Amino acid sequence: MGLRFCPKCGTLMTPRVKNGKVYFVCRRCGYKEESKGDSYRVRKETKSRKKIIVIEEDISMKVLPKVKITCPRCGHNEAVFWTMQTRAADEPATRFFKCTKCGYTWREYD
């Protein structure tokens, strides 16, 4: 998900852009490593004019549990799923599904 921890001291590393490349830098000890294989985009903030680095990495297909369910878009019968509390705490959680073939995401309420 773009999070990196320093191999030397264990501190959360922050992304930085230098010469068009993304590096992860440790705030505590200064350790630096180049980002490998992550896609990213740099967004400029209008008020403070600082650059914000957004790390985009789709790991959902790798780590989320798979279930046999029919995709409403392509008809494929396998998807990954996760749950999220989108309504009041006394109501059931919402289940989200993402097709492993076409990537379509849909939700299911109880």
Pairing of strands 51-56, 66-67: unpaired
Q: Determine the pLDDT at residue 74.
A: 96
Q: Of how many residues is the chain composed?
A: 110
Q: 2-11, 26-35, 70-79, 86-95 — which is least confidently predicted?
A: 2-11
Residue 14 pLDDT class (50, 70, 90 cuts):
confident
Q: Which two tokens stand for residue 69?
A: 């369910």
pTM above 0.85, yes or no: no
Q: Residue 51: which H helix or E strand, with range? A: strand 51-56
Q: Which two tokens stand for residue 94?
A: 């919402």
Residue 99 CB partners (closer than 8 Å, separation 6+): 71, 73, 74, 76, 78, 79, 105
Q: 18-22, 30-34, 37-41, 89-93 — which is least confidently predicted?
A: 37-41
Q: Which two tokens stand for residue 81?
A: 């799923």
Active site residues: 90-91
Q: Determine the pLDDT at residue 15.
A: 83
Averaged over 79-97, what is the pLDDT?
A: 90
Pairing of strands 39-44, 51-56: antiparallel
**Mean pLDDT value across the chain:** 81
Averaged over 25-34, what is the pLDDT?
A: 89
Question: What domains can be seen in the chain, in order of their start residue?
Answer: 4-56 (2.20.25), 60-108 (2.20.25.10)
Residue 67 CB partners (closer than 8 Å, separation 6+): 78, 79, 80, 81, 97
